[in-house]
Amino acid sequence: MKGIVLHGGNGTRLRPLTHTGPKQLLPIANKPMSQFCLESIKSAGITEIAIIIGGIGSNRVREYYKDGKDFGVTITYIEQDLPRGIAHAIRLCKDFVGNDRFLVFLGDNIIQKEIVEFAREFEKSDASASILLCEVDNPSRFGIADVKDGKITKIMEKPKHPPTNLAVTGIYFLTPTIFDVIDNLKPSWRNELEITDSLQILIEKNHKITYHKITDYWKDTGTPNDIIHANGTILEKMNPYFYGQKDDSVKITGNVMVGKGTMIKNNSVINGPVIIGDNCVIDSSHIGPNTSIGDNSNTSKCEISESIVMSNCNIDSTIKIKNSIIAFNSTIISGQESQNHKTFLLGEGTKIVL
């Protein structure tokens, strides 16, 4: 079986974070979200992986993953000129897939459950496809499956009046049969080739499609709030470690991960779950809960909670930051104290002087 990670799209709902690079490289718990996908595929025993790239900053994907050797896999890059839909991206992989069964993972999907058993079952089955479903509170945002008597009867894309709350997650087990379907597929109202339409055609042609329900955590990280929520969930389940240094005045509680070369000092309080990367300085600051601080970032006199601060950031301010995402190389400086919580969504390289 082979693997495919879809790494394209414009990430319009995440601007300005995505003005300089793909959303799938945005970090969750100090790791690009697409790396969680790659690791999930590898854990299923799949090491031949194609990454579909396209759009702003796609070269950064190549720079990060390279040939895949550092991640224990072999990576092939396939270019998609424009975001023409998931089915179109899958069709680009026909030569890569050959006659093998394959697993498709949308690069912005975060799942906590191992998928190795799903992969093994699909390899042994006679099904043309197998999909993972998850109950959601807002089904009109997703592709939805209608299931009756343990069988999928209909799959539809973002229905206005969903018949169920079973979302089709961005994880698909497929066979080369899907390519013939996509070749005859018409664009949707979004002018895209939809994978949900492709799966519906398989159903109508009496192909066998199986499914599993995810009862563990799954998140389609399409909005800033989704990313912040996923960040907190991942942090809570990580194994704590401390490779940095701290002075005696520091107080640390909860699930906390601290990288090498990091110094925490001067009455700082770390309230987990929190991850702090390598070579950071946390000075007179209150960090957490549910907060990530990237490598080479410094904080002084501030309070940060429910937030993501990426690498190479500097926050020197008596400010309270909450529910925020602050992108790489950003700076916040203030000469005045603020008692109210501030919320930021800062693109890469932003500088704010308050």
pLDDT digits (tens, 9 = 90+) for 214-225: 877 887 777 888
> Which residue, of 165, 191, 224, is where some domain finishes?
224
pLDDT at 136: 87
pLDDT digits (tens, 9 = 90+) for 9-52: 665 666 777 666 778 888 999 999 999 999 999 999 999 999 99
pLDDT at 247: 95
Q: State yes or no: pLDDT of 212 exceeds 70.
A: yes
> Which residue, of 170, 194, 224, is where some domain finishes?
224
Residues 181 and 106 in one domain: yes
Residue 75 lies in a domain: yes
Residues 218 and 256 in one domain: no
Q: State yes or no: pLDDT of 111 exceeds 70.
A: yes
Residues 106 and 168 in one domain: yes
* Domains contained in the chain, number: 2
**What is the Cα 232 distance to its own chain's centre?**
13
What does the alpha-carbon distance between residue 243 and residue 260 come to, in Å, rounded to a whole number? 5
Provide the percentage of residues in the chain whose pLDDT is more than 70.
Answer: 95
Residues 210 and 270 in one domain: no
Question: How much is the average pLDDT of 108-134?
Answer: 89
Q: State yes or no: pLDDT of 336 exceeds 70.
A: no
Residues 84 and 131 in one domain: yes
Residues 83 and 204 in one domain: yes
Q: Tell me the CATH number at 105.
A: 3.90.550.10
Which secondary-structure segment (H or E) carries 183? helix 177-183
Residues 257 and 219 in one domain: no
Q: State yes or no: pLDDT of 158 exceeds 70.
A: yes
Residue 229 lies in a domain: no
Residue 231 lies in a domain: no
pLDDT at 347: 79
Q: Tell me the CATH number at 284.
A: 2.160.10.10
Amino acid identity of residue 241, one-letter, is Y
pLDDT digits (tens, 9 = 90+) for 234-292: 999 999 999 999 999 999 999 999 999 999 999 999 999 999 999 999 999 999 999 99
pLDDT digits (tens, 9 = 90+) for 52-96: 998 777 888 999 999 999 999 999 999 988 778 899 999 999 999
Residue 339 lies in a domain: yes
Residue 100 lies in a domain: yes
pLDDT digits (tens, 9 = 90+) for 292-304: 999 999 999 999 9
Residue 232 lies in a domain: no
Residues 211 and 328 in one domain: no
pLDDT at 11: 58
Residues 108 and 7 in one domain: yes
Residues 219 and 274 in one domain: no
Residues 101 and 209 in one domain: yes
DSSP reduced 3-state for 346: strand
Q: State yes or no: pLDDT of 339 exceeds 70.
A: no
> Which residue, of 192, 224, 256, is where some domain finishes?
224
Q: Domain of residue 23: give its range.
A: 2-224
Per the structure block, which two tokens stand in for 286?
């209150």
Residues 264 and 307 in one domain: yes
Residue 233 lies in a domain: no
Residue 83 lies in a domain: yes
Q: What string of DSSP letters covers 106-173?
A: ETTEEE-S--HHHHHHHHHS--SEEEEEEE-S-GGGSEEEEEETTEEEEEEES-SS-S--EEEEEEEE
What does the alpha-carbon distance between residue 178 and residue 188 come to, in Å, rounded to a whole number? 17
Q: Angle at the Cα of 125 (from 119 to 126), degrees rounded to 5?
A: 135
pLDDT at 316: 93
Kindly provide the b/e burial profile for residues 135-172, where b requires at least 16 CB atoms within 10 angstroms of the residue's own CB: ebeebeebbbbebeeeebebbbbbbeebebebbbbbbb
